Amino acid sequence: MKMQFYFSVFLIVLAIFLSLRTLFIPQKLKGKHVSFENFFTFALIYATVMAGFGLLYYLLDLKGIWVLSDESMRPSTSSYERMSTSMYFSAITLFSVGYGDIAPVGVGRAIAVFEALVGYTIPAAFVTRAMLDQNRS
């Protein structure tokens, strides 16, 4: 069971990394100002990163590591409610600084800070990549 946990964490981190790597590969983004393909790529990167961090919070919670200070993250609540709280917290952290209804604790603070940093850099990297590709063409 321990090996399965570490393998899952590794796969999640790998998926996040590969998704973010897409921003830095010139062939993936076309040199157009606005296109459906670029918007779809941007949305998929955000969705992958959000789901990855959400699953990371959930897996740590399943392991018994308390990362979020919310009543729905207690072992007595359903697995579905704990997963939805993890995904909600991940989305709010990635897209903003949060609402304050759920706060990270312990190692969750470091993960949330990193996720917020990623959330702020994705649009900047996306715009930079589009501008660089436009200048090349």
Q: 104 - beta bridge partners?
A: 68
Return the amino acid letter for 18: L
**Alpha carbon separation from 106 to 57, 60, 69, 86, 112 (Å, rounded):** 12, 11, 10, 15, 10
Question: Any idea which residue has 């702020």 for tokens?
Answer: 120
Q: pLDDT tens digits for the chain (137 residues)? A: 688 888 888 999 998 888 877 766 655 555 555 566 777 888 888 999 999 999 999 999 989 898 998 877 777 788 888 899 999 999 999 988 778 889 999 999 999 999 999 999 888 887 777 777 666 66
Residues in Cβ contact with 119 at an 8 Å cutoff, skipping those fewer than 6 apart: 49, 93, 94, 95, 96
Specify the pLDDT at position 49.
Answer: 92
